A and B are shown apart, each in its own frame.
Chain A
Amino acid sequence: MGKTLAEKVLARAGGEKEVSPGQIIEAEVDLAMTHDNNGPVMINQFNRLPGAKVWNPDRVVVIIDHHSPATSFRAAENHRTLRKFAAKHELKHFFDCGEGVSHVILRQKGFVKPGMVMVGSDSHSVAGGALGAFATGIGATEMAAVLARGKLWLRVPETVKITLHGRLPVGVMARDVALFLLGQFGPDGLDYKAVEVHGSGIKGWDIEERAALCTMGVEMGTKAMMVPADEVTLVYAGVAQDLGYVPDLDAQYERDLQYDLGGLAPMVSKPFLPTNAVPVGEVLGTRIDQGVIGSCAGGSLPDLEIAARILEGKQVRKGVRLIITPSSKENWIRADEKGLLKILKQAGAVVSSPACGACGGYEIGCLAPGEVCISTTTRNMPGRMGPGGEVYLASAATVAASALAGEIVDPRPYLNERPAWVS
C-alpha cells in the first residue's frame, strides 16, 4: 500500500520499514529550533536534567526574534540567558537581534531540507513544510528533552490531501489562499492531521509564498503542512537530486480535496479567530487605526513588493499608522536594493528592523482599547495586540490598500497599473 509524504519521512526518522496512521514512533530529530519566547523556559527545564549535554550542537538553531531588539529589561535578561546557554553548549547556529523571524531564517539560511524531521518551540514551525519537511511545533519542556535526547515520540498522523487548481487573479495572494482554507476547516478542522498540498495552483509559487500558506496551517490545527518537493524546492534548498521524499502515487489519504483558485477573492479574517475568514467584500468600509505588514506569514519580499506597488507615490491616510517589518535581514536588504523601502517610507510607513514585530503585542505596534488593526500577522485572538484591540487578518495587498483608504478596501483596483520596476 502506498505511503504519504508524512508517513515516508516518519518511517525513515523512526527507523521503521513503514508506518501507518495512529502508530506511535520515536523519531530522530534532524533539526531543532528555539527562540527568545520559549527558550528561557526550555533552559530552566534542561538545567533540571542532571549532567545533560546537547545531543548534537550542530543540529540546534537558536534565534532571537520575538522581543527584538530587546523590548524590555526582562527581555534583555532572557536574551542574555540564551546567549550564555548557546556559548556553554557550543551551539554554532545562533542568530541574534535583527536577523529576522526564526521560521524565515531557517529556510533562507539553508537549515531546512526536504524530508527532514524538524521541531521548533513555536507553533508556526509548520512553516518548514514549504520545503517538504515534516516540521512541527512543540513546547519548551519537550524541546529541553529533544536537546538532551535528539528524539521525541510522535503519533503518525492521518494525511489530508489538498489540491489547488488554477491561477490566482491579480491582487489575490498566497496569504488569501491560506485564510480561505482556514475558513473552510475552522480552528480544529485539521487538528492532529498532516496536510499535503498539491496542484497546478502552487507550482508557480516561490518558497516564500508556499511558506505563507504552510505557516498559517497551524491555525486549523495541522501537525504538519507539507508541499512535496519539486524543482522549485530543490533549487531553493540546494539539493542536487530528489531524495525520494515524495508521496507514493497510490498513497492512502484520509480525505482528498480539490479547490480552484481562479475565482478566489481577497480574504479577511475577522476578530477573534484566524479562521473567521470572509471575502473582503463583506467587511468593506471597516475603519482602521493601524496596518501591519510583517510576521512569519507576511513581511516576505513578495509582500513588500506588492505593498510598494500599491503605496508608490501615495500617502498613508492621516490618522492611520502603517508598520512594516521585513521578516528577515535578507528580505530587508533585498527590498532596500530594489528601492522598495524608500517607496514605503515615503508613503508614510514606519519600517522596523526584522523581527516578529507587532504580531503578538511584543511592545511594538500595540493597540489601545477599541482600536482596529488590519494585519498580515498570524493571529487575532482577543488582546493579541493589546487588551480591547481588534485585529483583522489579510494579505499585504489588502493591508497596504486599506492603509491608504483608512478603512478596509479591496486591493484589486489599486493594482491596475504595473510600474516599470515590477519584474
Chain B
Amino acid sequence: MAELVQGRIWVLGDDISTDHILPSRYMAEIRPEELRRHVLEGVARDFPRKIEAGDILVAGRNMGYGSSREQAILALKAAGIKAIVARSYSRIFFRNCINNGFLAVACPGLPKGLKDREVMTIDPGGGRIQVAGEEFSCEPFPEVLLAVLKHGGLIEYLAVNPQEYRR
C-alpha cells in the first residue's frame, strides 16, 4: 500500500462504463485468463493487444459507470493493469476495485491532455501522483477502505479477521 506504483498510462475519457471495460456478452465467462482477452474491447477492439503488465489507466469523470459486474475488474487485473487514476468514480465500481485489492485513486484535479504511454508515478500512502513533470494530490481513502486495501482485498481482510463472519 505504501509502495510507489509506476507505469505507462492509457488515457480514457469520461463515463467509461463497465460495458466498455468488459462487454456484457462475455459475462458468462469467469476465468481471468479468458476475460483478459476482451478487456476494454468496448473502447477499442485492439485494446487487449496494446496493454502490457504494469500499465496504468487514466480516466475522466464517472469511471466504471453502469453495471456492477466484477468481471470488469478481474479482466483489468488479469491483463496486468496495476492501477486506475480517475477524476471521479461510479460508486459500485470504486468499491469493487478496493474489495479486490485493486488500486483506484481519485484525483479530481487531474489535467486533460495527458498522452498515452506517458509514465505516471502513484504514491498511494502520500496521496500524490506525478505525471508529465507535474504533481497532483489525490483524495484520501476512508479508514474502512484503507484497512481492506492494506490486506489486498475484502476477502483477504476477512480471512485474517474470522471473528467478523459466521463460521
Residues of A near any B CB (own CB < 8 A): 24, 37-38, 40-41, 44-45, 48-55, 66-67, 71-72, 74-75, 78, 121-123, 137-142, 144-145, 148-150, 153, 155, 187-188, 191-192, 219, 221, 223, 273, 359-363, 366, 379, 381-384, 386-387
CA distance A273 to B20 in the complex (A): 12
Chain B minimum-CB-distance residue to A221: B90
A188-B15, A192-B91 known; A149+B65 contact, CB < 8 A = no
Q: Are A141 and B92 neighbours in the complex by a CB distance under 8 Å?
A: no
- Chain A CB count within 10 A is highest, among B19, B62, B165, for B165
**Interface positions of B from 1 to 60, Cβ below 8 Å from A:** 14-15, 17, 19-20, 23-25, 27-30, 41-42, 45
Q: Which residues of the other chain, B, contact A24 by a CB distance below 8 angstroms? A: 142, 144
- Per-residue interface assignment for chain B, residues 135 to 167, with 1 indicating a CB less than 8 Å from any chain A CB and 0 otherwise: 000000010100000000111001100101111
Q: Are A382 and B20 neighbours in the complex by a CB distance under 8 Å?
A: yes
Q: Which of B70, B90, B166 contacts A38 (CB 8 A)?
A: B70
Main secondary structure of the interface of A (DSSP, over half): loop
Q: Are B154 and A221 neighbours in the complex by a CB distance under 8 Å?
A: no
A187-B65, A223-B91, A362-B24 known; A141+B142 contact, CB < 8 A = no
CA distance A239 to B139 in the complex (A): 44
Chain A minimum-CB-distance residue to B17: A381
Minimum C-beta distance from B51 to chain A (A): 18
7 closest A-B pairs by beta carbon, nearest first, are: A360-B24, A139-B96, A148-B165, A188-B62, A381-B19, A51-B167, A141-B99
Q: Which residues of the other chain, B, contact A67 by a CB distance below 8 angstroms? A: 27-28
Q: Are A142 and B96 neighbours in the complex by a CB distance under 8 Å?
A: yes
CA distance A359 to B69 in the complex (A): 14
Q: Are B66 and A149 neighbours in the complex by a CB distance under 8 Å?
A: no
CA distance A38 to B15 in the complex (A): 22
A145-B165, A223-B91 known; A188+B65 contact, CB < 8 A = yes
Minimum C-beta distance from A390 to chain B (A): 13
Q: Which residues of the other chain, B, contact A45 by a CB distance below 8 angstroms? A: 155
Q: Are B62 and A187 neighbours in the complex by a CB distance under 8 Å?
A: yes
Chain B minimum-CB-distance residue to A140: B70
Q: Are B62 and A38 neighbours in the complex by a CB distance under 8 Å?
A: no
CA distance A78 to B14 in the complex (A): 33
Residues of B near any A CB (own CB < 8 A): 14-15, 17, 19-20, 23-25, 27-30, 41-42, 45, 61-62, 65-71, 73-74, 88, 90-92, 95-96, 99-100, 142, 144, 153-155, 158-159, 162, 164-167
Q: Are A381 and B28 neighbours in the complex by a CB distance under 8 Å?
A: no
Chain B minimum-CB-distance residue to A187: B15
Q: Which residues of the other chain, A, contact B45 by a CB distance below 8 angstroms? A: 387
Q: Which residues of the other chain, A, contact B153 by a CB distance below 8 angstroms? A: 141
Q: Which residues of the other chain, A, contact B73 by a CB distance below 8 angstroms? A: 139
A123-B68, A361-B25 known; A52+B166 contact, CB < 8 A = yes
Q: Are A139 and B95 neighbours in the complex by a CB distance under 8 Å?
A: yes
Minimum C-beta distance from B60 to chain A (A): 10
Q: Which residues of the other chain, A, contact B90 by a CB distance below 8 angstroms? A: 188, 191, 221
Q: Which of B28, B29, B154 contacts A141 (CB 8 A)?
A: B154
Q: Which residues of the other chain, B, contact A386 by a CB distance below 8 angstroms? A: 25
Chain B minimum-CB-distance residue to A79: B28
Chain B minimum-CB-distance residue to A26: B144
Q: Are A188 and B61 neighbours in the complex by a CB distance under 8 Å?
A: yes
Q: Are A387 and B23 neighbours in the complex by a CB distance under 8 Å?
A: yes
Q: Are B30 and A40 neighbours in the complex by a CB distance under 8 Å?
A: yes
Chain B minimum-CB-distance residue to A157: B91
Q: Are B19 and A382 neighbours in the complex by a CB distance under 8 Å?
A: yes
Q: Are B91 and A50 neighbours in the complex by a CB distance under 8 Å?
A: no
CA distance A38 to B74 in the complex (A): 12
CA distance A177 to B118 in the complex (A): 44
CA distance A120 to B41 in the complex (A): 26
Minimum C-beta distance from B102 to chain A (A): 10
Chain B minimum-CB-distance residue to A148: B165
Minimum C-beta distance from B133 to chain A (A): 30
Q: Which residues of the other chain, A, contact B28 by a CB distance below 8 angstroms? A: 67, 71-72, 74-75, 78, 362
CA distance A219 to B27 in the complex (A): 20
CA distance A101 to B147 in the complex (A): 36
Q: Which residues of the other chain, B, contact A360 by a CB distance below 8 angstroms? A: 24-25, 27, 67
Minimum C-beta distance from B119 to chain A (A): 29
Minimum C-beta distance from A233 to chain B (A): 26
Q: Which residues of the other chain, A, contact B70 by a CB distance below 8 angstroms? A: 38, 41, 139-141
Q: Which of A49, A74, A137, A223 contacts B159 (CB 8 A)?
A: A49
Q: Which residues of the other chain, B, contact A40 by a CB distance below 8 angstroms? A: 30
Minimum C-beta distance from A315 to chain B (A): 31
A51-B167, A140-B70 known; A123+B92 contact, CB < 8 A = yes
Q: Are A148 and B68 neighbours in the complex by a CB distance under 8 Å?
A: no
Q: Are B19 and A44 neighbours in the complex by a CB distance under 8 Å?
A: no
Q: Are A41 and B71 neighbours in the complex by a CB distance under 8 Å?
A: yes
Instruction: Using A123-B68, A137-B92, A379-B66 as known contacts, list a sample of 6 further A-B pairs with CB atoms less than 8 Å apart, ordered by residue number in A.
Output: A138-B68, A221-B90, A362-B27, A382-B20, A382-B42, A387-B41
